[in-house]
Amino acid sequence: MPIATKISAPAPRPKRRKVLWLAALAATAALGGLAYVVTGGQNTVDEGLQERQMACSEAMYAMGWVLPDHTTDQRCTELSGGLAGHTQSGTFRMPRAEARPWLASLSGERVQPDGVGSDSVVERKEGLALGVLRPPGSLQADEVRVDLRWEGEETAVVTFETFDY
């Protein structure tokens, strides 16, 4: 009786395994780079970017100011983190008769555009405006712009936005 011999396939060469492993690694890196480009790197660059609703009184307090009495329809937002720095914006309504005295009471270094009064409040047909550099509160904004638009004889719509340059 003949003796059976076991014939087996030759073992894969170690060099071929290394080439396949390197090819898989290169493909993974290429796909990861493509994913980064497609998403704009948002998960990495803007990871901490957060927007949140906040009370307008809290926003005013952060600037070292007080929200005027008798406000309605308050909508204020804070945007922080990432490339945005830290900014706040908002809008609310207030009595028109109280608008100029409130604007004049806001503390901070005033932007002095040409042709404005000593209180730096800009008067326009449609309302009032004021720019304040570096408000005194805890929010370290470089500038705050406040615009008031007349809404009828009784009401003014206030819009503000902070800028962190």
Contacts of 108 (CB under 8 A, 6+ apart): 63, 64, 132, 133, 134, 135, 136, 144
Q: 10 Å Cβ neighbour count for 112?
A: 11
pTM: 0.67
pLDDT string in tens for the chain (165-residue length):
566 556 665 655 566 666 666 665 566 665 665 555 555 554 444 456 788 999 999 999 999 999 999 999 999 999 887 665 678 999 999 999 999 999 999 999 988 776 566 678 898 899 999 999 999 988 888 999 999 999 999 999 999 999 987
